[in-house]
Amino acid sequence: MFRSRSKDEQAAAAKVTASQPQQPRDPQAPKGRPTPKRSDSQSQRRTRAQTPSNRKDAAKAQREARRADMARQREALANGDERYLPVRDKGPVRRFARDYVDSRWCAAEFFLPVAVLILVLTMIRVPQMQNLALLLWLVIIVLIVLDSVVIWVRLGKRLQERFPKENVKGARAYAVMRTLQMRRLRLPKPQVKRGQRP
């Protein structure tokens, strides 16, 4: 209240007073533009400030806005539009990780069909079939682990080469988690074909 004003505030105040004309405007002088009709100005005011009057309307407007954002996000996940992707999927590093995974065959994407096959084999009450199911189970798990380790190491090297100055934290885990989904069910949808290196 009784403190002195800083130099920046004094300079800003001096600029404002210098930019204003010294003489007051004559009320009878023309203002240089036509007066808008009352109906036009009221409709502009209504469209500008559509603030809800109570909590129920505000919550409804918020739900509709959230629904529109989610629809935009779903569409972006389907066609790969970077602008509306969720934060988890945004950026060139994450896009490169997705393309790296989508361009190759992964053992983990066959887990679901093999798991169904193993389930069918375990229902058959023949000891050889159940032994085969256990062996198949062990093989698919070992293949998934080995493939994930290979992706982790190779992708880490490629990320360091391609993006030396960017933060690549979490990109390898993101890529490995993507391998666990079947290619057809991955979101965002794959943008590269198999064998097409990013």
Q: Give pLDDT, residue 27.
A: 67
What is the mean pLDDT for each group of 10 consecutive residues in the chain (198 residues)?
58 53 64 80 68 81 90 84 85 94 93 92 90 93 96 96 92 94 90 87
Question: Per this entry, what is the length of the chain?
Answer: 198
**Rounded Cα gap, residues 193 and 198, in angstroms:** 10
**Rounded Cα gap, residues 10 and 134, in angstroms:** 81
Q: Give pLDDT, residue 81.
A: 77
**Rounded Cα gap, residues 2 and 131, in angstroms:** 88
Q: Model pTM greater than 0.85?
A: no
Q: Do residues 189 and 85 touch, judged by C-beta distance below 8 A?
A: no
